[in-house]
Chain A
Amino acid sequence: MAWSRKSAMFASLAVALYLLGLVLRNQQLVTVAVVLLSFLTWAAFRTTNADVSSSGRRMEDDNDTGGIALQNLVALRRLSSARVFEDGEIDVSIRIQNKSNLSKVLEVRDRVPEVMRIKKGANYVLMELGPQRETEISYTIEAPLRGFYTIGPVCIRIQDTFGLFHNEREIHLYDDFLVFPKMEDIKDALIKSRVPKIFTGAVNIRNPGEGSNFYNLREYVPGDAMKKVNWKATARSGGKLMVNEFERDAVSDIILLVDSRSVSETGPVSRNSLVYSTRAAASLAQYFLSRRDSVGLVVYGDEIVSVDRDTGKKQLYVILTKLAGAMAKGNTPLKVVTNRIMPYINRGSPIIILSPLEDDPTIIEAVRDFRSRNFDVTILSPSSLEFEFDARRLDRTGYELLKTERDILMSELRGLGANVMDWEPDMLLNTALSGARGF
């Protein structure tokens, strides 16, 4: 049982008046003190009656109705969806059951993550719940930022009617949900874009497959189509059936490199380089996967997290999940990442780097390495300077100076043959990609 400020004030006033009454031999003061103490005692007695033994479980698991001893309050929660995109909504329902034979006045607060916004209803309810009764609370939350989130615990408070004492319990009922970065439809932008060839059609990659360009010869294996048999080569090989292999040119292998170093979170919580990078990566992944390309993802911050190249809708959700969980941490240089992944990427694969290009002296060297191995490098750089300047955390002189440094770096990268796009805040991804024209 916890004391409120009011009860503490009552108690201290009662004690003070009681002692003062004894010192001054004033019955009036002592009487007031006795009444105050009796008032407090009765309220405490009533609050102790209000037991809040409780438990909770998800509504989906509601098949066991057997009660634990003193399991008088039960909370069950249900979410409309466990996965949404940024700015999506989730409906939450909580069923509160009073299994005791006493009526209770309850304050119920379902704890939602701080960044979430209550769109409809309330997660904080004051109610009178009769004996053996149940009620349901519903509310809708809006998820403005990507990430892994947890709703819960459910806090239940019972207090006396005067608000002097309260009993509080947390029902350890948690529900996890995932907020994916939101995606833009970038089809139009990429059709209009002239320069990054990778976006305008299939690229031949040095892997065998069902393409049109000759790759090499190999021995016939059962199952090979007879039209693939190279009769001239068969004749030269002394009786061994040889077949032609072709380059797989129907799809490209696209590698998305997302910079999630701590510097990428510079700016307001909802408008920073990492937020923009993850949204862009999600949009690009969706676009390429819908074209049946193979997409891989590397997120680097304090460690290098990668998703191997693959195709299909499942791959999109694997990538989205990794992007949702990308945290701004650490300071792994790009060169370390390129050294790590280079052996596993097919030469000529398009590489898209999403980075604010800050605080990393190895960027130029890393891009040079990629270019020297004939990788098609595109850099989409959300400008954290603009975020800082817009949030008025950067003065004009600092902004101008840093902007000049950034422009010089971008020019150098362009000089290495990379397509560099400067992505300013509030610029739609479509616009940023369209801006790639004319480099």
Chain B
Amino acid sequence: MQEDFNGGIDLVEKKSDTAHLYDGKTVRSSAPSRKKAAGRMKGSSEIPKDAIPEVHVPSMIESLFGGPIVSKTKFLPPDRVVKNLQMSAAIILTLLSIVTFTVTPVSGTAWFWLSDVINQPAIGALFHILLIAMGFIGGMYGIFQREQRAILISYVILILVTIRFAGSKVEFGIDLLPDGEISQKLLLISYALFLVMYIELTSGVIRFSMLDKSIRTGEVYVMNVKKITSQYYKSLMITPLVAGLVALITLMINLIIPFIVGLLGSDSTAKRLEESVELTSVYGVALGTAVVFMIVASAFAVNLPARLAQMRENSNK
């Protein structure tokens, strides 16, 4: 940094280069001759093509969402962080595809219904597997080519295969899976976690690729890159654990409520609640979600996180 901060007048004269201000037009060094200019002129008086600005007319969907849904970005070759994220995303996608196949039966899906109508149930099962395979291949392509559209398509497909009329009972695609309620719910949570992790990791691949490009083109300067990436990795470990725990509490509401009622001394009521169809069904999960998120919402309503942060920031001052 310079020592002189007195605001002295800088009389440095430099060669003018203001080409960036008018579409890269280069400045000529000599004075133009009017005769030469006249000689250069063409017979036609039509407007030159490069004088007409390129106008991107947004599509209907773009107008609806206020911009391109998936932006086209050219990336530089991936650096170490991006490569690590790509590998992690690929592993998670593989696990997700396997878990999706195991926990999602074809029964209850639209294609199962259609194949049943034409009396060819094998076609429905084949289509189901094909969809999962497409989601997997599209995802892999998207991850390694950093093609956001392919990634988005794989999200849609992997969510689409789970959309099925299931009834209240949990069903799996493979019969060999455990029947115990807790293990079933753990499997469901792991499926959900893999899906969320896949979405996050693929978004991380794109985000860090963009950041890497900005760093290398000098648009942004990053101090302590290692610390920033290590924080991201740390969050990738902690956040899914927290989310999984909250989801577990929510899904276990049919056991938690009877347990609390049992503690209050009404054993028969607790027993009845435990066997209640409503609590063990999806509506029980809905009730659990409502309870858990009401607690979270009230914490935010009283500004608890900010208060805690304030306490921590002002401690030892």
Contacts and interface: CB of A to CB of B under 8 A. Distances in A.
Contact of A6 (B2, B203, B221, B239): B203
A41 to B, nearest CB: 5
A122 B22 contact: no
B289 interface: yes
B54 interface: no
Contacts of B37: 389
B153 interface: no
B177 interface: no
A116 B259 CA distance: 67
A72 interface: yes
Contacts of A182: 13, 16
A85 B20 contact: no
Given A39-B240, A88-B10, A138-B1, A34 B289 contact: yes
A91 B1 contact: yes
B301 interface: no
B10 A161 contact: no
Nearest to B217: A122
Given A35-B196, A102-B312, A26 B162 contact: yes
A93 interface: yes
Find the residue from B2, B185, B282 having the highest chain A CB count within 10 A: B282
B289 A27 contact: no
Interface string B223-245: 11001100110110001101111
B166 interface: yes
A128 B8 CA distance: 34
B45 interface: yes
Contacts of A24: 108, 163-166
Given A31-B188, A38-B246, A426-B31, A49 B308 contact: yes
B228 to A, nearest CB: 5
B246 A41 contact: yes
Contact of B14 (A18, A87, A122, A386): A87
A124 B221 contact: yes
A127 B215 CA distance: 12
Contacts of B221: 121-122, 124-126, 137
Contacts of A144: 16-18, 21
Find the residue from B235, B246, B247 having the highest chain A CB count within 10 A: B247
Given A89-B12, A424-B31, A117 B219 contact: no
A105 B247 CA distance: 28
B228 A80 contact: no
B192 A35 contact: yes
Interface string B12-40: 11111110111001011111101001000
A270 interface: yes
Nearest to A393: B51
A146 to B, nearest CB: 12
A285 to B, nearest CB: 15
B235 A161 contact: yes
A34 B285 contact: yes
Contacts of A39: 196, 200, 239-240, 243
B12 A392 contact: no
B113 interface: no
Given A24-B166, A128-B228, A425 B18 contact: no
A416 to B, nearest CB: 24
A80 B200 contact: no
Interface in A20-71: 20-22, 24-39, 41-46, 48-51, 59-60, 70
Interface of B: 1-2, 4-5, 7-18, 20-22, 25, 27-32, 34, 37, 41-42, 45-48, 50-51, 103-104, 108, 159, 162-168, 170, 185, 188-189, 191-193, 195-196, 199-200, 203-204, 207, 211, 218-224, 227-228, 231-232, 234-235, 239-240, 242-247, 250-251, 281-283, 285-286, 289, 293, 296, 300, 305-306, 308-310, 312-317
4 A-B pairs with least C-beta separation: A427-B31, A38-B243, A127-B223, A38-B246
Given A138-B1, A271-B22, 17 more contacts: A35-B247, A41-B246, A45-B305, A50-B309, A59-B5, A70-B314, A81-B7, A85-B13, A89-B14, A125-B221, A128-B228, A135-B223, A136-B1, A161-B232, A162-B239, A268-B25, A424-B31
